Amino acid sequence: MSTDRDCVTRRAVQHALVAGGWVLASMFGAGHAFGVAMNSAPRASGDSPVAASKIAPGDGLRCSAPASQTGTSAGAPLLEADTPGDGTRLFPTGKPFALTFTTRPAQADTLTWQIRDTWNAVRASGRFAVPAGATLATLNCASSIAGYFAVSASLERAHGQLDARGTRPAGIATFGILPDTVATLPAVRFPFADRHRFGGQGTAYLAPGQHCCDGDGYRPVYTALGLTWVNDNRNWYVEEPDKPGTFNPATPSLTPFFQRGDLLRLIQLDGIPKWASPTGKETHSYAPSSLAQMKDYMAKVGAESNRVRTTYFPAQRDNYYQVTWEPDADGGLPWRDTDAHLVAMYQAVYEGIHRNDPHAVVMGPTYASVQANVVAMRRLGPQGIGRYMDGMTIHGYYDIGTTPSHPPERVADTASQGTVQGALAASMRALRHEMRLYLKPGAPLFVTETGISYDIGASYGKQYPDANVLYAQAAVVARTHLILLGEGADMSYVFYLADMPDAAPGYGVFFELDHPQGAYGAVHISPKPAALAVAALTRIVDGTITLGPLKGLPQGVYAYAFRRLGGGKIVTALWTHDNDRWNAKSGFDANATANYRLRVDAAGTAGTVTALDMMGNASSVPYRDGVADLKLSPAPLYVVSGNAEVFAPAVTTPEGYAPR
């Protein structure tokens, strides 16, 4: 994907936000038939063509009869639903939460409701009487199923449905149940905090009294999702906009939300101030007039960062710096200067940062797509840029629009209309080759932005997206980050937190509830299936090293193996994809399946392994003669096994990859 369509606005907004202080006994009524838990249901006529997930018998989502009905404010709309809490609309598995309905009928009526999951299967339903006038009814609920859920409701006499709210379409209110994977994957011990593998872009100001753009835009939502890395800015044009020498590395300047030490900083350095620019304007397109001045400024940044790390991040080994941001010639921050000047600028940054930060990891060049970074390194590597890079940062876009209809596997099949070199896995392999040629052994690879929007030509609306699109987006988000990490990236950023304007619609893993076209720095959000797919992904794959893609896979099957830190269990992520059954025109077929036999133990052995679905729900899978028979779908399945020896000959280690 060429991200130039939104680069200018997105980056300008991001920097403005940074400068403004933000970076981006039983609870169920005995004998009451009101609340019904359902483990599966046939798809109703007209529903999106998606299949129910497989949940173990006895698990379910249950809600009581209304615990209370109280008067509330009059007016519109006729019908509302919500799950109040900390603002994330995310709740732990098995813990109680409230589901509220506000009704305003002119005469007494009956409300009917349903809750459906990511696969559009009904998981709970009920009905209750409501009086005339404005009433707030509160139901007590709990779920042993993790995942995304959409509430729908109607009044039998007055009819109606839930109104659209912000970018969330009409007919639904959404919430999520966070997976609890500890029984399957006990917490690992991180030798250093910077071994966490997931970060994100975007903020949400959810605490009472907060609003854009003050306070902490990352908690509680990032910690709920399992995202650890975020951007922090020490750009020269931000810190010294008017003259040199105004940045003092001894002055405490760390944003308060970083001072807890649980969110890690990727330090942004791109751009130069107008007074240092050969054009007389603030720019990302040219090297500064004085590289010596740039080096001096970077030395101060290195001193400050080293002090900050030892003070606030004692569990973090290194500091990480990103020098340039999407310098694509056709992008929003294009490099217009010469290659020689770009290499010289990297040298000034590298030498300045390393002067005072013995734990510096200077990284770049962060072109918009994986393939663009390959092309850039083929050109810049022989000119010596690798001498001034301790690691590499890229953006992980891979197609002309990274969308449900353009999944990362789309052009991996030589029978498709795409080109093989554009497939994400193939591009990552080419990139790892260039890294081995031009960077030092073991250099880290960070993917600092990758998002999946809605399809090209789509727009926010009362009827869009539907359940099928939301399912497909979730599956493609998870698959994309699995490929990036499985092909040798050390860390990957989820883009974007909540739907935003000025971009292809739908990048957010949450709906933004206040603006029909989305907004930066959201205050009210509700999850999409993608958010819960991310929450499962981080709990399952964070705290691992990459083993690599499995060898000898049949056409349409994709599989990557990871190992938990400290010599722990093996996690194998598997799915199937068929280009012909996966597009917006014909629908995203969740019922597509492929049989695959995964070796999980030595020949002659038998037992069980645990499989986790895309939302993190566990089931037991038997194996015989060391092999588990799996039925794969387009949604990733994570198989957890214990015998690492059988995977050594079964995977291809990414070229030059060294576990960190």
pLDDT (tens digit, 9 = 90+) per residue, 447-475? 999 999 999 999 999 999 999 999 999 99
More confident residue, 48 or 136: 136
pLDDT (tens digit, 9 = 90+) per residue, 268-284? 999 999 999 999 999 99
pLDDT (tens digit, 9 = 90+) per residue, 60-88? 999 999 988 999 999 889 999 999 999 99
Confidence band, pLDDT 50/70/90 cuts, at residue 18? very low
Which pLDDT does position 579 carry in this prediction?
Answer: 87
Average pLDDT value over all residues in the chain: 90
pLDDT (tens digit, 9 = 90+) per residue, 376-410? 999 999 999 999 999 999 999 999 899 999 999 98
Nearest to 378, CA basis, from 316, 333, 421, 325: 421
Which pLDDT does position 421 carry in this prediction?
Answer: 57
587 with 468: CB under 8 angstroms? yes
476 with 407: CB under 8 angstroms? yes
CA distance 136 to 100: 7
DSSP strand E in 335-474: where? 360-365, 391-394, 445-451
Nearest to 51, CA basis, from 60, 41, 37, 36: 41
Is pLDDT of 299 > 60? yes
More confident residue, 29 or 646: 646
**Under 8 Å CB-to-CB from 254, ≥6 apart: which residues?**
308, 312
Q: What are the φ and ψ backbone dihedral angles of 339, each rounded to 5 degrees?
A: -60, -40
Secondary structure of 389-405 in HEC code, one letter for each residue: CCEEEECCECCCCCECC
Which pLDDT does position 410 carry in this prediction?
Answer: 87
Q: What is the mean pLDDT of residues 621-634?
A: 98
Nearest to 644, CA basis, from 573, 543, 568: 568
| Residue 407, helix vs strand vs coil | coil
CA distance 405 to 409: 11
Is pLDDT of 628 > 70? yes
Domains and CATH numbers, the chain: 224-503 (3.20.20.80), 549-650 (2.60.40)
pLDDT (tens digit, 9 = 90+) per residue, 469-507? 999 999 999 999 999 999 999 999 999 999 999 889 999
Is pLDDT of 4 > 50? no
CA distance 245 to 40: 65
**Model pTM?**
0.92
Question: Which of left, alpha, beta for 457 (phi over 0: left; psi -120 to 50: alpha)?
Answer: left
**Under 8 Å CB-to-CB from 12, ≥6 apart: which residues?**
none
CA distance 116 to 152: 8
Confidence band, pLDDT 50/70/90 cuts, at residue 59? low
Confidence band, pLDDT 50/70/90 cuts, at residue 48? very low
